[in-house]
């Protein structure tokens, strides 16, 4: 296994990043079970940009070049998007040909505005496919590229894996590509391995700008993103609300809050955590995702605390935004008395045990009725949510659609005529 370079010193506060790459649109769109309409996606982009993020990865599908045009119209023609905003379009060497045709249909001045991020660059390496695709895109007007190196860090980061990554970086360097995303593609990277990997990459490649694509399959995405910049990566990546494939990506509003506490800036500025939280809730609406009320930082109920128990943050004197509530677990007479005293109830009542007991009993009765009313409604909502997520297009639907077309063609064919496969 590789080790930390000699003399390496991590940084934990008071530094500046060259950028934050937002993946909400691309990976949120890829994960969206039923898709999303472009107008809502445009509003989501505007919301993310207004929170201070200027690097947006907008998509990878066949319809997304049309969305790129919509975004650039909004930026260049209507001034709806901050002029410093940079958009990136993703393609892989497995799907590049059709995407290339869609991209080349865009005006050359629009192609000059965007980054094209090329992934799976190791495909057909012996025939220099990566290099040839970059050349073709350059010929139609793309001038800015970044590369994405896929990894399945199931065995951590050994010499063989590090050599593979270094080899791909060298190919990028030869093409003049200096912005490289290192992917933890299936979310298996452990924080200690992230530290070793990032420290060595920065040490060995001082001419490159790196960022980590940290999936959250093991709940470590945000932690790995932090470890990567603590150890020298110059950019960080994530999604508002943690939007991304499978379990998601680093939660940008959580990173923003940590940055503010540690004086970590992005091109000299702090991100706006409140606006990122608003964008996270808008992303749920955009991609038809049931809201997560207890998501870190941006969940709608994440600032709620039970007023009737000893809250450790309160006990420690930690200053934070709090919305107090009360339930059966917190219904201690001593806390009810304290609440009433602080509310200005006359001391004669607040000190009266019988009065406090009556208040507690009536609250308890109300809570009991409220629970069963909410229980019935929750059961109904659960059934509705389960029903809502039925009807996902599955692989068998692809087969069934093809079969139906084949049957229709057979019914339409003249007697004795055979259905000939396309391209034969």
User: pLDDT tens digits for 267-313?
Assistant: 999 999 999 999 999 999 999 999 999 999 999 999 999 988 866 77
Q: What integer is the mean pLDDT of 404-412? A: 91
Structure tokens at 346: 């006359």
Pair 247, 363 in one domain: no
Same domain, 236 and 352: no
Q: Is 423 left (phi over 0), alpha (psi -120 to 50) or beta?
A: left
The CA-based dihedral angle spanning residues 375, 377, 379, 380, taken in that order and rounded to the nearest 10 degrees: 170
Q: Which of 261, 337, 252 is nearest to 298 (CA)?
A: 252
Do 110 and 249 belong to one domain?
yes
Same domain, 323 and 357: yes
Q: Which two tokens stand for residue 243?
A: 């939007």
Buried b (16+ CB within 10 A) or exposed e, 281-319: bbbbebbebeebeebebbbeeeeebebbeeeeeeeeeee
- Asked if residue 189 is part of any domain, the answer here is yes
DSSP bridge pairs for 305: 324
Coil, strand or helix: which one is 421?
coil
Residues 94 and 219 in one domain: yes
User: Which residues fall within 8 angstroms of residue 393, CB to CB, at 6 or more apart?
Assistant: none
Q: Looking at the predicted structure, is the pLDDT value of residue 422 above 50?
A: no
**Tens of pLDDT, residues 334-356:** 999 999 999 999 999 999 999 99
- Tell me the backbone φ, ψ of residue 423, rounded to 5 degrees: 90, -5
Sort residue 142 into left (φ over 0), alpha (ψ -120 to 50) or beta: beta
Q: Output Rg (C-alpha) for the chain, integer angstroms.
A: 27
pLDDT band at 424 (very low <50, low <70, confident <90, very high): very low
CATH value at residue 78: 3.20.20.70
Q: Which pLDDT score, from 0 to 100, does residue 318 have?
A: 77
Compute how many other C-beta atoms are within 10 angstroms of the C-beta atom of residue 199. 23
Boundary (domain end) residue, out of 224, 258, 286 = 286
Q: At what angle do helices 273-286 and 252-262 cross, to 10 degrees?
A: 180
- The structural domain count of the chain equals 2
Whether 149 maps to a domain, the answer reads yes
Please tell me the pTM assigned to this model: 0.91
Q: Does 269 share its domain with 329?
A: no
Interval 17-47: pLDDT, tens: 999 999 999 999 999 999 999 999 999 999 9
Distance CA 184, CA 154 (A): 10
Domain boundary among 341, 362, 380: 380
Question: Does some domain include residue 387?
Answer: no
Q: What are 408's two structure tokens?
A: 């229709």
Q: Please determine, for residue 316, whether its predicted confidence score (pLDDT) is greater than 80.
A: no
Q: pLDDT tens digits for 190-223?
A: 999 999 999 999 999 999 999 999 999 999 999 9
pLDDT at 423: 46
The pLDDT value given to residue 314: 73
Has residue 388 been placed in a domain? no
Cα separation, 258 vs 237, in Å, equals: 14
Read off the pLDDT band of 417 (50, 70, 90).
low
| 421 pLDDT higher than 70 | no
In a domain, 168, yes or no: yes
Domain hosting 111: range is: 15-286
Instruction: Kindly state whether residues 47 and 173 are assigned to the same domain.
Output: yes
The reported pLDDT for the residue numbered 310 is: 66
What's the CA gap between 101 and 138, in Å, rounded? Answer: 13
What per-residue confidence (pLDDT) applies to 415? 65
CB 208 within 8 A of CB 168: no
Of 257, 286, 315, which marks where a domain is finished?
Answer: 286
- The band of 243, judged by pLDDT with boundaries at 50, 70 and 90, is very high
Q: Both 235 and 368 in a single domain?
A: no
Structure-token pair, residue 30: 């890829």
Q: How far apart are CA 407 and CA 400, in angstroms?
A: 10
In a shared domain, residues 136 and 282: yes
Residues 31 and 243: beta-carbon distance below 8 Å: yes
**Which pLDDT value is given to residue 416?**
60
Identify which of 335, 390, 389, 10 has the alpha carbon closest to the alpha carbon of residue 191: 10
Same-domain check for residues 267 and 311: no
Residue 108 lies in a domain: yes
| 126 and 268 part of one domain | yes
Using CA atoms, how far apart are residues 87 and 142, in angstroms rounded to an integer? 12
Put the strands of the sheet holding 55-59 in their side by side order: 209-214, 179-184, 144-149, 115-119, 86-92, 55-59, 19-22, 235-238
Answer yes or no: is 299 within a domain: no
Please name which of 86, 18, 28 lies closest in space to residue 249, comparing C-alpha atoms: 28
Task: Examine the domain organization and report whether 225 and 312 are in the same domain.
Answer: no
Q: Is residue 3 part of a domain?
A: no
Which among 224, 259, 221 has a CA at the least distance from the CA of 242? Answer: 221
CA pair distance 332, 329, nearest whole angstrom: 8
Range of weakest confidence among 127-136, 168-177, 330-339? 330-339
């Amino acid at each position: 296994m590789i080790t930390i370079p000699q003399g390496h010193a991590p940084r934990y506060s008071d530094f500046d990043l060259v950028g934050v790459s937002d993946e909400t649109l691309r990976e949120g769109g890829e994960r969206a079970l039923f898709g999303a309409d472009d107008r809502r996606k445009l509003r989501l982009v505007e919301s993310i940009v207004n929170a201070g993020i200027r690097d947006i990865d907008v998509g990878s599908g066949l319809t997304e070049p049309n969305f790129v045009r919509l975004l650039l119209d909004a930026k260049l023609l209507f001034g709806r998007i901050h002029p410093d905003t940079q958009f990136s379009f993703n393609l892989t060497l497995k799907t590049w040909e059709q995407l290339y045709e869609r991209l080349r249909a865009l005006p050359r001045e629009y192609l000059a505005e965007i980054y094209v991020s090329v992934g799976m660059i190791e495909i057909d390496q012996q025939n220099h496919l990566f290099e040839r695709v970059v050349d073709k895109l350059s010929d139609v007007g793309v001038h800015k590229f970044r590369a994405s190196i896929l990894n399945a860090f199931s065995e951590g980061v050994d010499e063989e894996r590090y050599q593979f990554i270094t080899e791909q970086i060298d190919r990028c360097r030869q093409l003049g590509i200096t912005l490289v995303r290192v992917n933890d593609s299936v979310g298996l990277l452990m924080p200690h391995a992230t530290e070793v990997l990032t420290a060595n990459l920065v040490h060995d490649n001082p001419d490159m700008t790196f960022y980590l694509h940290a999936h959250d399959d093991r709940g470590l995405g945000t932690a790995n993103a932090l470890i990567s910049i603590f150890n020298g990566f110059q950019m960080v990546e994530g999604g508002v609300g943690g939007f991304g494939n499978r379990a998601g990506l680093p939660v940008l509003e959580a990173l923003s809050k940590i940055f503010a506490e540690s004086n970590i800036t992005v091109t000299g500025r702090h991100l706006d955590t409140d606006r990122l939280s608003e964008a996270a809730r808008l992303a749920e609406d955009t991609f038809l995702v049931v809201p997560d009320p207890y998501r870190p930082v941006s969940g709608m109920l994440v600032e709620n605390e039970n007023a009737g128990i000893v809250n450790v943050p309160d006990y420690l004197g930690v200053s934070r935004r709090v919305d107090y509530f009360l339930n059966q677990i917190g219904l201690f007479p001593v806390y009810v008395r304290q609440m009433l005293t602080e509310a200005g109830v006359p001391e004669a009542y607040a000190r009266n045990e019988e009065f406090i007991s009556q208040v507690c009993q009536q609250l308890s009765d109300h809570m009991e009725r409220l629970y069963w009313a909410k229980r019935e409604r929750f059961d109904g909502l659960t059934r509705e949510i389960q029903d809502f997520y039925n009807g996902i297009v599955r692989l068998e639907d692809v087969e069934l659609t093809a079969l139906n077309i084949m049957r229709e063609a057979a019914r339409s064919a003249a007697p004795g005529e055979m259905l000939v496969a396309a391209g034969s």
